[in-house]
Structure 1
């Protein structure tokens, strides 16, 4: 019984080791995809390039995680066959976040890079509106009618206080 267990364990380990040794190299990340600019706003154009694709330097890009679909990477000039360059536009409806952009070389090699989508400066800068509850003043709120009524009440109280102080100073009493 022990001999059978050892034989099965040894066979399983041998098969696993052989499977790892024969695993295709191109199924793993084999380089990087450079993304320019690395941080964009919705609607912007993005350029990606890589030198990880051998031979003719072409690749198929995929920005599907972002909603931009696929695009082609190719050598921009005959003397730059080792560098593939491609472009795509970020959809105006893209949500803020970090997205993985993937490209597959003609030989099946997978390369990836990250793109960060942010809101534009006008939407990021939120200006405060209304009054702030600080505990100092503002008891009547920002309504102009209520503010005028409060000022009138203070004026009547000041006039009444002045009249009472004047009567007391003359000796008329309260």
Structure 2
């Protein structure tokens, strides 16, 4: 018999797995007449990302010419691989790409044409984290601030305090008192 804590942990784990699967997003594809399609992965990217396109529409050992000019990436080649008769190619989304949905197309050497959708966003999905770049402005400056006069005054105040503290400790050690 399961306890409430066990059910809660099991439910939480299943929710986390389902969320991770949904966050990765499906690869959108349109099917060709012969049953093949063009899969675009990842299906949602930010400008500057690398995208992989693959299809089984070209058959075993087939090649294809890809067209990503809709997003500004131009032509790319799809070549056969060892994975289930796939033809695979890659292209890079230009950093100047605007957000939107773009049709990526491929034409097999035998004539079959397939296409898939690529979504360009300005925010990264959970599958592609974006790391911060640059300096953090916290309001705490370095040792040499914008005003050298204030820096010199601060150094002088610290020197006077250190000298006074040393003098008082020396008098106390000799027994002169304060």
Query: What is the TM-score normalised by the length of structure 2?
Result: 0.49
If you compute each CA radius of gyration, which structure gives the higher value, 1 or 2?
1
- The structure carrying a bigger helix percent of its residues is 1
Query: What is the TM-score normalised by the length of structure 1?
Result: 0.50
